[in-house]
Chains A and B, each alone.
Chain A
Amino acid sequence: MNLAAIIENQTEIPEAVLFFILSPIMVLSALGMLLVKKAVHSALLLAVIMIGLAIFYIANQASFLGIVQIVVYTGAVMMLFLFILMLVGVDSSDSLEETIRGQRIGAILGSLGVGFLLISLLSRADLGRPYSGLDLVNVEGNVQAIANTLFTRYVWAFEVISALLITAALGAMVLAHRERLLPRKSQRELAAERVRQNVVPVAGLPGPGTYAQHNAVDIPALLPDGTPADLSVSKVIAARGELANPSTFRMNEKKEEGQE
């Protein structure tokens, strides 16, 4: 490229400012997405990147695409990611240890190589003519321009993609479906089960001291049927075996006669 072409291809200053502010944010977000431990954080950082990209699209005279990026990508796709993360486990995090030998080094070297080569090839590429910009195309507005091309030249691809969308939706339904093997329990059955198992007492537990026979901590309270209540003493004392015998406090016929 000669100097004139380079000079001619410069963008406006505001765009340059936008670029140099936003692109470090995006790069740092990308690196963060790579390095943070929790998956939810990665998802949120990805959302940041996508919004930045949307801004870039709008700056590049692709307004329709920018809005679609926010609505579809950030709004729908990233939300989908977050929902699945909730299903899979929000807390799930990778351990830092690498299980495959040499993978980390290989990954860094490989990706550095790809990046380096891509950037060097791009820097050597030359379009051969000055950048034209989309002003002429976008005369009626970006949406009209896209519509003009999309529904004339690319209508066949459009139809195929719509078929793809339908297939994807169906596929997701099929994959996520769980077959119900037993009939669904109704509310009445659930309630009866709850009462039957008595995991949590239906009427509620009695208040403290209701059945107490003595105010010593090692003497259990006696329930109405004469059995000691396990809830009335500390489990530690019971485990230590220092429970006193409450039989002296049990009501019996002999004592009843003498106790008048």
Chain B
Amino acid sequence: MSLDYYLYLSALLFTIGAAGVLIRRNAIVVFMCIELMLNASNLAFVTFARMNGSIDGQIFAFFTMVVAACEVVVGLAIIVTIYRSRRSASVDDARLLKL
């Protein structure tokens, strides 16, 4: 096994996360799949740091984590607000912007 296998795993997790975003209808589950995609890219960063022998990859992964955390906070707050006014957490119900 070489370090490339981590990259393949990362790509696979990313794909599964993307599929989840497209298929699931519950807003929170969609959010969780997005988190999975972010984590998969974090794994790739860390692997690249190890491949290149430079710590910058880990720094980037660190930043990604922080930003993901912020995004989760705000995103969930929005979901809660929408749920309070519409009583539904389904992504499909927010489709007023159609022609």
| A contacts B: CB pair < 8 Å | yes
- Which residues of chain A are near B8, meaning CB under 8 Å? 119, 122-123
CB atoms of A175 and B62 under 8 A apart? no
A9 vs B6: C-alpha distance in the bound complex, in angstroms?
13
A134 vs B50: C-alpha distance in the bound complex, in angstroms?
5
0/1 per residue, B67-99, Cβ < 8 Å to A?
111111110111111011000011010000000
Cβ contact of B16, chosen from A34, A122, A134, A171, cutoff 8 A: A34
- Which residues of chain A are near B23, meaning CB under 8 Å? 34, 103-104, 107
A243 within 8 A of B: no
Tell which of A110-118, A195-203, A211-219 binds the partner.
Answer: A110-118
Q: How large is the interface on B (under 10, 10 to 19, 20 to 34, 35 or more residues)?
A: 35 or more
CB atoms of A132 and B53 under 8 A apart? yes
CB atoms of B15 and A111 under 8 A apart? yes
Chain A residue nearest in CB terms to B53: A132
- Which residues of chain A are near B4, meaning CB under 8 Å? 122-123
0/1 per residue, B16-31, Cβ < 8 Å to A?
1111101111101101
A221 vs B25: C-alpha distance in the bound complex, in angstroms?
55
CB atoms of A84 and B79 under 8 A apart? yes
How many A-B Cβ pairs are below 8 Å?
230
Chain B residue nearest in CB terms to A118: B11
CB atoms of A171 and B53 under 8 A apart? no
A11 within 8 A of B: yes
CB atoms of B25 and A94 under 8 A apart? yes
CB atoms of A33 and B20 under 8 A apart? yes
0/1 per residue, A99-135, Cβ < 8 Å to B?
1100110111011101100110011000100011110
- Which residues of chain A are near B84, meaning CB under 8 Å? 178
Interface centre among A50, A88, A122, A165 (most CB of B within 10 A): A88
A80 vs B73: C-alpha distance in the bound complex, in angstroms?
8
Cβ contact of A119, chosen from B12, B26, B29, cutoff 8 A: B12
CB atoms of A114 and B15 under 8 A apart? yes
A61 within 8 A of B: yes
The smallest C-beta distance from A135 to any residue of chain B, in angstroms, reads 8
Chain A residue nearest in CB terms to B84: A178
- Which residues of chain A are near B55, meaning CB under 8 Å? 134, 137, 145-146, 148-149
The smallest C-beta distance from B50 to any residue of chain A, in angstroms, reads 5
* Interface residue ranges of A137-183 to B (CB < 8 Å): 137, 142, 145-146, 148-150, 154, 157, 161, 164-165, 167-169, 171-172, 175-176, 178
- Which residues of chain B are near A77, meaning CB under 8 Å? 35, 68-69, 72
Q: Can you offer 19 A-B residue contacts whose CB atoms are under 8 A?
A: A33-B36, A39-B28, A46-B35, A53-B42, A60-B6, A62-B50, A68-B62, A81-B31, A88-B79, A106-B22, A108-B19, A110-B22, A111-B15, A111-B19, A119-B11, A161-B66, A164-B66, A168-B73, A175-B81
Which B residues fall within an 8 A CB radius of A?
1-9, 11-20, 22-26, 28-29, 31-33, 35-36, 39, 42-43, 46-47, 49-56, 58-59, 61-63, 65-74, 76-81, 83-84, 89-90, 92
> What 8 A-B pairs are tightest by C-beta distance, nearest first?
A132-B53, A115-B15, A107-B22, A168-B70, A175-B77, A111-B19, A16-B1, A118-B11
